[in-house]
Amino acid sequence: MSAGKPTKPTFLNGEFSFAADTVTAFRNIYTCFPTQNLYDDLVGLEDFAVLQQAEALTSGVDHSLPHKNRVFQYGAPTSLESMLDPLHCGGRFSDHTFGVWYGATDEPTSIEETLYHWMKRVTPDRANTPDPISTDRKMFKAQLESQEALDLCSIAPLNSWLTEDDYACCRELGRWLLNAGVGFLLAPSARKKGGVCVPTFVATAIRNEQPLYFLRYWLSPGADKAIALRSAE
């Protein structure tokens, strides 16, 4: 496939070739531990089916597909998630109009990336409570395989573009890769020195996704940074 179709982002000088690649990736997401049904505090067990049917009709998520597809469905402009919280659906490589599966090639990078963004989200809440703020996470491992992948980690002049806090260039790149049919990108982490992130653009590139363990992000009163604690199974 030619890298010039569709139009390549202007900040990518030179020619770039897509190639087949396979990597191991780690991803951690919000969860509840111990697990709890969404409707536990609303209705009795006998009414769960009715609410679950209503959820299925309005969420924009096809529950018949494997769980790995949900991040791409959440990003779709027709999904309930996208309409209610469009900022939550975007990210470094997405402009909120399509979903991206964000992962990293090692667990510490996955933690540092998500811990940074969680800190930004909860910091305004610190003024409203003297108590610690925490959230539960779940770590996953997956094999990523694609006949069309792009590795930009070794191209030093691009590092500043790929890690800056202004996401404009990265979102232009993400749109280009999505339209070009690229499965995933290898890019330097903005939050962990030496870390590698693997934004993935199609569900078919995600193979053998499996849960590893639960985490808890914990921000103590007066602390400058939150910590990640591995939860007991």
Give the pLDDT score at 86.
46
Q: How does the average pLDDT of the chain come out, rounded? A: 84
Give the pLDDT score at 62.
76
- pLDDT surpassing 60 at residue 28: yes
Give the pLDDT score at 15.
63
Domain boundaries, the chain: 19-39+100-230
Which amino acid does the sequence have at 177? Answer: L
> How many other C-beta atoms lie within 10 A of the C-beta of residue 214?
20
Place of tokens 């790149």: 173
Closest among 34, 27, 38 to 231, alpha carbons compared:
34
Q: Could you give the count of Cα atoms lying within 13 Å of 131 in the half-sphere of its Cβ?
A: 2
- pLDDT surpassing 80 at residue 118: yes
- pLDDT surpassing 50 at residue 80: no
Give the pLDDT score at 4.
42
Give the pLDDT score at 88.
52
Two structure tokens written together for 143: 């094999």
E strands in 85-190: 133-151, 184-188
Rounded distance between C-alpha atoms, residue 36 and residue 145, angstroms: 33
Bridge partners, 27 (sequence order): 140
Give the pLDDT score at 99.
87
Average pLDDT over residues 118-146: 92
76 near 98, Cβ under 8 Å? yes
**pTM beyond cutoff 0.75:** yes
The SS3 assignment for 93 reads coil
> How many other C-beta atoms lie within 10 A of the C-beta of residue 16?
15
In the structure, what pLDDT confidence band is assigned to residue 89 with cuts at 50, 70 and 90?
A: low
Average pLDDT over residues 43-71: 76
Bridge partners, 230 (sequence order): 215
Place of tokens 């870390």: 195
